[in-house]
Structure 1
Amino acid sequence: MSRRGIARSAWPLVASVVVLPLLAGCAAPAQPPAQTVMVTVTATPTPTPTPAPVETTPPPVAEPAPEPAPAPVPNDPAPVYEPGPAYDNGPVPGANGPIETDGTGMPVLYTVVEADSFFDIAQRFDLPQQQLLRMNPQIHDFGETVYIGDKINLDWQRVGLG
């Protein structure tokens, strides 16, 4: 055999002697053998149910049902509103002018001040706006325009200021 042939046949042997020990460190470590675990299951006693709590509060009392509203009747005449005296509920925004009272303390005359409105005046004296308009024919435009210093009648038994 020639030198070259020997070198070729020796090459795999040299490679295996040098490379195999290097690759030996790359191999995964061997797994330890699996361990067997023994588990013992014992039966637990059945728990006894807890008794339900006894209710000590009395049951709620039912409220009586409200009476049903009367059924509307078509073309029935409107209810008649009986006019009554004015009661002063105190100054409010839109009606905080001075009042004049009679001998019994009932308001009879109101004087319009700045920022007053006819609606608020009616609300202050607990009067429907239509009734206050009927009592004061000198107020024009359905109470839309009232002027500072205007006098408004609050006596429900007379009409106008006279």
Structure 2
Amino acid sequence: MLAASAVLVLSGCVGAPAPPPVTIVATVTATPKPTPTPTPTAAPEPAPAPAPDPVPNAPAPVYEPGPAYDLGARDGANGSPVLDGGGMPISYTVVSGDSFFDIAQRFDLPQQQLLRMNPQVHDYGENVYIGDVVNLDWTKTG
């Protein structure tokens, strides 16, 4: 009995049977790499057209405004013009204090045109003398 009680007493000391071993299986799956989103790019600009070959400028046209009109005496153009039958001025005689520029202004003519109409005037009209006759008839020169 003693032996049976010892077995009973000792049987309480015996632990419960060990559970069966657990097998853990780890499966490794690759982390998916994100597909890069393409960066939007601007459409390529077209190549510029080649520059055309240079072309020399055409000479400027000569503009002849037309007949002289007397706008009245003024400082630098005080003389009296000679008029044609229609009352249009055809010539002007330089008097004291006159300048070629003021004569051109009085008769509403560009100075360059008045110079072309009067090739006898030199130095771009800088020097006109008392008694010089300035042609105002745009149909005649000299």
TM-score, structure 1 length as denominator? Answer: 0.51
Correspondence for 2:89: 107
**Match status 1:151 vs 2:117:** no
After the TM superposition, list the runs of 4 or more consecutive aligned residues in structure 1 that deviate by more than 6 angstroms: none
Q: CA RMSD in A?
A: 1.8
What is the count of residue pairs matched by the alignment?
Answer: 88
Q: Which has the higher contact order (CA 8 A, sep 6+)?
A: 2
User: 1:149, 1:81 → 2: CA distance?
Assistant: 29
- 1:30 equivalent in structure 2: none
CA distance, structure 2, for counterparts of residue 98 and residue 112 of structure 1: 9
Which whole-Å deviations, capped at 9, do the CAs of 1:44-100 have from their partners, x for residues lacking one? xxxxxxxxxxxxxxxxxxxxxxxxxxxxxx946535413400000000100011110
Percentage of identical aligned residues = 75
Bigger Rg over Cα = 2
Q: TM-score if structure 2 supplies the norm length?
A: 0.57
Note the residue ranges of structure 2 that are not aligned, 5 or more in a row.
1-55
CA contact (8 A) 2:115 2:121 kept: yes
Structure 2 counterpart of 1:123: 105
Task: Indicate the SS of the match to 2:114.
Answer: helix
The 5-angstrom pairing of residues 1-162 of structure 1 reads 75=57, 77-160=59-142
Q: Which 10-residue stretch deviates more, 103-112 or 78-87?
A: 78-87
Letter in 2 for 1:144: E
Structure 1, unaligned stretches of length 5 or more?
A: 1-73
Aligned equivalents of 1:94 and 1:84: distance in 2? 22
